[in-house]
Amino acid sequence: MDDKDVGNKYDRQVRLWSPSGQKCLSNSSICLINANTTASETLKNLVLPGVGRITIIDNSRKVTPNDLASSFFLSDSSSDHTRAGRLANTLSALNPDVEILVEQRSLSQLLFIPSYWSEFSCVIVSQFLENADHERLLSDILWRINVCLIEVNSIGFYATLRIKYREQEIVETHDNNTEDLRLDFPWPELQGHIDSINLDELDDQSFSNVPYSIILTKVYQRLHKRTGKRPTPSAVRKFIQSELRRNGEETNLDEASNRAILVLKDSREIPESLTRIFEEGENNDGSADSPFWPLVKALYFFYHKHGLLPLSGVLPDMESDTEQYIALTKLYRDKFEADKKEIKEIFEDQYGGTVSDSYLTTFVKNCKFMRVHRGSRESFKASLLTEESENEDPQRLSNLNIYVGFLALKSFYYEYHRLPSVSDCSELRATAISLLCHYQSVRNFPDGLEKVLDEICRARGSELHNICALIGGIAGQEVIKVITNQYVTLDNCMSFDGIKAQGGTWRI
């Protein structure tokens, strides 16, 4: 397949994460442990968009009739008798670009080879490992080398997803608000440009081609002068209507009125997520191979000095003619470049090191909405149940109960090496109680947990294909976010209730 074909086949998704994201995908290596239906649904969503390589660890389990019934990807035509082998066969046919390997060694062997794990971009565990020791060992290894661990699980109508990732710095969050017009704080060149346009002198044609951002800035400044305060959107709209309208057909004025809300946006304000990153940046020296944390410090220096972040340079489409729009675009681009240069100089002067222009550009363009996720290795946080029990929203508690239910299920599995059935209800409940005692979180059994445990027993460990497809879709999506390091990843746990079609997320 030549380059053109690759572009074409992945065209619809490259528009979501750009060629750089696609490159991350095709260079990635994913490990999957336990090839059940949830796992195969997850893998399907990684094979189709073209990850580089997938390694399946399934301890040479044989295909059972049960597997055949619940999975799309285990045809009985293949001569291979292992579940992983058959799955690899079917998946390979989906996309020849992806290399799919079946690991012959068992997990317990591999856990003694820490270096084995460093090639992976992400490790997915479906269902449960054999015992608590394996779980702890694996999580320790991956935590140490900062490889993302994703646990995905589905039984009956319920599913959970948990991400354990020591640290993730996401620059390209694809936030919808990166447009930065600076209506309230025009820089000198922009102010000069705005002042050079005298609305009263323009003929109707040119007047209707003045971009709305210029109109809004002018109105903002006039009203601000009058009242000494930041004007309200309705005052701006009124002003446009009464003092600027000429023939009622100026579409640029319509745009300005529609977007009058922008005058409330204080350019000096930064989101809380960025404040936290700044605080953390103070005493984080980062790793030697990533310029992220030094750049955060440079950014903080810049912000401290100017009271403003560097300009994102992203300008929305506006009603205008080519000339005026291009003039404006150039002003915004020049300012972006100037701010970027300043950041670069601070970075080089004060923190040394080098940074590529493309990384710097991405960083400056997206800096306002960057996110840093700090994960946790814990399975549970004691305060969660108390918080949710006091919460008004019963659905959140019921979703948290599902998560707790799966924790109990895991303990049960470690203890009995099988999944519970209807006759195990009391054992499962006992397990849940001891689990809750362990976390010392609750005095009483949470409302609704019993129902969840009953439902889990009723499912007799079976995976419902529909729910697998759904949680497999969500898991696949999160893996792609982790690999491309684009879009905001789940932080860091969710459960899904298929009966009510409702999901809940928490941070542990």
- Report the interface residues with another protein, using CB under 8 A: 4-5, 7-16, 19, 41, 44-45, 48-50, 68-70, 72, 75-76, 93-96, 174, 203, 205-206, 209, 317, 320-323, 325-326, 329, 459-460, 462, 464-467, 469-470, 472-474, 476-477, 480, 487-491, 494, 496, 498, 500-503, 505
Q: Which residues contact 117 (CB under 8 A, 6 or more apart)?
A: 31, 110, 123, 141, 142, 145, 147
The nearer residue to another protein, 94 or 199, going by C-beta atoms, is 94
The nearer residue to another protein, 135 or 463, going by C-beta atoms, is 463
The nearer residue to another protein, 167 or 285, going by C-beta atoms, is 167
The nearer residue to another protein, 203 or 390, going by C-beta atoms, is 203
Contact 451, 23 (CB under 8 A): no
CA 24 and chain centroid, separation: 15
Report helix, strand or coil for 47: helix
The nearer residue to another protein, 430 or 488, going by C-beta atoms, is 488
**Could you tell me the smallest distance in angstroms from the CB atom of residue 76 to another protein?**
8
Q: Name residue, tokens 């044989």.
A: 62
Rounded distance between C-alpha atoms, residue 84 and residue 59, angstroms: 9
The nearer residue to another protein, 119 or 393, going by C-beta atoms, is 393
Rounded distance between C-alpha atoms, residue 451 and residue 405, angstroms: 10
Closest CA to 39 of 72, 2, 81: 72
Report helix, strand or coil for 276: helix
The nearer residue to another protein, 103 or 491, going by C-beta atoms, is 491
The b-or-e profile of 340-376 (16+ CB within 10 A means b, else e) is: bebbbebbeeebeeebeeeebeebbbbbbbbbbbebb
**Could you tell me the smallest distance in angstroms from the CB atom of residue 5 to another protein?**
7
Beta strands at 502-506 and 493-497: parallel, antiparallel or unpaired = antiparallel
The nearer residue to another protein, 142 or 480, going by C-beta atoms, is 480
**Could you tell me the smallest distance in angstroms from the CB atom of residue 282 to another protein?**
26
Q: Which residues pair with 153 in a beta bridge?
A: 160
Rounded distance between C-alpha atoms, residue 337 and residue 341, angstroms: 6
Side chain identity at 392, as an amino acid letter? E
**Could you tell me the smallest distance in angstroms from the CB atom of residue 23 to another protein?**
12
**Could you tell me the smallest distance in angstroms from the CB atom of residue 61 to another protein?**
20
**Could you tell me the smallest distance in angstroms from the CB atom of residue 261 to another protein?**
18
The nearer residue to another protein, 93 or 145, going by C-beta atoms, is 93
**Could you tell me the smallest distance in angstroms from the CB atom of residue 268 to another protein?**
25
Rounded distance between C-alpha atoms, residue 48 and residue 170, angstroms: 24
Rounded distance between C-alpha atoms, residue 480 and residue 21, angstroms: 9
Rounded distance between C-alpha atoms, residue 358 and residue 350, angstroms: 21
Contact 57, 31 (CB under 8 A): yes
**Could you tell me the smallest distance in angstroms from the CB atom of residue 18 to another protein?**
9
**Could you tell me the smallest distance in angstroms from the CB atom of residue 220 to another protein?**
26
Rounded distance between C-alpha atoms, residue 99 and residue 74, angstroms: 18
Q: Which residues contact 462 (CB under 8 A, 6 or more apart)?
A: 66, 70, 155, 156
The nearer residue to another protein, 76 or 390, going by C-beta atoms, is 76
Q: Name residue, tokens 């409940």.
A: 429
DSSP letter at 311? P
**Could you tell me the smallest distance in angstroms from the CB atom of residue 489 to another protein?**
7
The nearer residue to another protein, 110 or 155, going by C-beta atoms, is 155
**Could you tell me the smallest distance in angstroms from the CB atom of residue 347 to another protein?**
27
